[in-house]
């Protein structure tokens, strides 16, 4: 049986000239040195399975399960091959016809159910915190170690600071994992946006999942359904000129994918185009709002773990380090691995914990060697991954979301 792929995926791998420029950018190739775990190798395997020259189980299932989906290969590719499009459709069909692929990604199913129900996700994190303290088998203990120790105290009574300006309507997407794991970071982001001169629109407590994790793992139909629901919700509740701001790079990159996912939807395709053009990351938004913010540091050494999807999906990866460099009184250091994947990859660190840990290891070394006091994150998956890694490595660095760090230093 061959792999079934749409034309948009076939066009991409047919466009690959096998030059190999993407190989050094790929975290799994860097770790293994194996062609099958490189972007070029994966594209070749998908093409062979599509042509019917390779069974779409076994080697292909493993190659695509080990891919983090970070999309660093897209930025590195001089020919503009959109590897992510191939990955999405190949995983979609593998879910249908490869039991091996489904088994290798078994942690995906409960998580995809949880993220569509925020109250369930919050309850699961609370339960995970309690269970993490119990004597359990090592594998389960390792998974539960991803649950952040502190729930993050939500600050419901704290209204954003009124300051002059307030003409630009801005909606901060709370996003499911941020809302459950780091609710304080969402409050801090709203506070900063208001201070920067935005008219912060009310939080939508019914906000659903954007579908990023579903798309990432090949549950294509669910991702399209969630994209439709999100576009309809934006249309119903936001003025057309509203900016949508995310403090989770993966979710922002997903909204940028909506035009492609809804291209054939006569009702929603142009609306998807519109909202994709209105979405920006928090750092970009803060830099473009009318009130310039001033920050006072506390003598700390600060480093950033930049989100892959913010860099390679949204192409807004330069805004966070630029903003961090403006915090006078702290010392911002650019770690060699600042823009390299940390191994989180949505649910990757649940399905492939050993490879995720190997990919994180050099980052932890750099944090230690540079004497980092505060390690900044701009995506919840990276925060969970790096927080656990720092804790287990005994690092003193405090992992903070960008918004909480900036609010802490706001003058």
404 is an interface residue for ligand SF4 by CB under 6 A: no
* Sequence-separated (6 or more) residues with CB below 8 Å from residue 137: none
52 is an interface residue for ligand SF4 by CB under 6 A: no
Dmax (CA) for the chain in angstroms is 65
Neighbours of 53 (CB within 10 A): 10
Integer CA distances (angstroms), 366 to 208, 247, 333, in order? 37, 24, 11
Site for ligand SF4 in 242-281 (CB under 6 A): none
- Taking a C-beta distance cutoff of 8 angstroms, is the pair 158, 280 a contact? no
364 is an interface residue for ligand SF4 by CB under 6 A: no
DSSP state of 410: B
d(CA 377, CA 25): 21
Q: How far is the CB of 30 from ligand SF4 (least distance, A)?
A: 9
d(CA 293, CA 159): 18
73 is an interface residue for ligand SF4 by CB under 6 A: yes
388 is an interface residue for ligand SF4 by CB under 6 A: no
Nearer to ligand SF4, 77 or 147 (CB): 77
Buried b (16+ CB within 10 A) or exposed e, 99-121: ebbbebbebbeebbebbbebeeb
25 is an interface residue for ligand SF4 by CB under 6 A: yes
22 is an interface residue for ligand SF4 by CB under 6 A: yes
- Taking a C-beta distance cutoff of 8 angstroms, is the pair 66, 352 a contact? yes
Work out which of 69, 313, 337, 380 binds ligand SF4, going by CB under 6 A.
Answer: 69
56 is an interface residue for ligand SF4 by CB under 6 A: no
Work out which of 45, 72, 276, 303 binds ligand SF4, going by CB under 6 A.
Answer: 72
40 is an interface residue for ligand SF4 by CB under 6 A: yes
Q: How far is the CB of 149 from ligand SF4 (least distance, A)?
A: 29
Q: What is the pairing mode between strands 301-305 and 279-281?
A: unpaired
Of 18-26, 208-216, 245-253, 269-277, the window that binds ligand SF4 (rule: CB under 6 A) is 18-26
348 is an interface residue for ligand SF4 by CB under 6 A: no
- Concatenating the DSSP letter of every residue in 308-363 gives HIIIIISS-TTHHHHHHTT-BTSEE---TTTTS--S-TTTHHHHSHHHHHHHHHHH
83 is an interface residue for ligand SF4 by CB under 6 A: yes
Nearer to ligand SF4, 21 or 120 (CB): 21
Of 21-29, 88-96, 169-177, 391-399, the window that binds ligand SF4 (rule: CB under 6 A) is 21-29
Binding site for ligand SF4 (CB under 6 A): 16-22, 25-28, 39-40, 42, 67-73, 77, 79, 81, 83
């Amino acid at each position: 049986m061959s792999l079934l792929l749409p034309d948009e995926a076939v066009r991409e791998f047919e466009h690959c000239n096998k030059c190999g420029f993407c190989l050094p950018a790929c975290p799994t190739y860097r770790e293994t040195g194996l062609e099958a775990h490189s972007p070029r190798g994966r594209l070749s395997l998908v093409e062979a399975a599509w042509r019917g020259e390779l069974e779409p189980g076994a080697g292909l299932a493993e190659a695509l399960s080990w891919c983090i989906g970070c999309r660093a290969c897209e930025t590195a590719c001089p020919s503009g091959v959109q590897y992510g499009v191939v990955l999405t459709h190949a995983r979609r069909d593998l879910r249908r016809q490869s039991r091996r692929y489904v088994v290798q990604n078994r942690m995906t199913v409960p998580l995809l159910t949880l993220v569509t129900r925020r109250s369930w996700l919050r309850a699961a994190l609370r339960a995970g915190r309690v269970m993490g303290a119990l004597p359990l088998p090592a594998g389960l203990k390792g998974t539960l170690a991803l649950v952040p120790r502190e729930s993050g105290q939500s600050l419901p009574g704290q209204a954003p600071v009124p300051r002059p300006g307030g003409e630009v309507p801005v909606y901060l997407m709370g996003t499911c994992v941020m809302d459950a794991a780091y609710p304080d970071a969402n409050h801090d982001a709203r506070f900063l946006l208001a201070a920067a001169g935005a008219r912060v629109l009310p939080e939508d407590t019914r906000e659903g999942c954007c579908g990023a994790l579903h798309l990432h793992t090949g549950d294509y139909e669910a991702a399209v359904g969630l994209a439709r629901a999100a576009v309809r919700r934006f249309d119903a509740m936001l003025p057309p000129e509203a900016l949508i701001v995310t403090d989770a790079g993966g979710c922002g990159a997903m909204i940028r994918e909506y035009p492609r996912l809804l291209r054939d939807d006569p009702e929603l395709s142009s609306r998807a185009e519109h909202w994709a053009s209105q979405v920006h990351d928090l750092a970009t938004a803060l830099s473009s709002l009318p009130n310039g913010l001033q920050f006072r540091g506390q003598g700390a050494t600060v480093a950033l773990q930049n989100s892959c999807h913010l860099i390679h999906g949204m192409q807004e990866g330069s805004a966070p380090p630029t903003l961090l460099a403006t915090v006078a009184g702290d010392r911002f250091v650019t770690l060699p691995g600042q823009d390299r994947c940390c191994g989180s990859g949505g649910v990757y660190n649940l399905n492939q914990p050993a490879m995720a840990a190997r990919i994180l290891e050099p980052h932890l070394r750099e944090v230690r060697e540079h004497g980092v006091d505060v390690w900044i994150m701009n995506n919840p998956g990276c925060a969970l991954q790096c927080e656990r890694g720092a804790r287990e490595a005994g690092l003193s660095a405090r992992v903070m979301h960008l918004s909480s760090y900036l609010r802490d230093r706001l003058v």
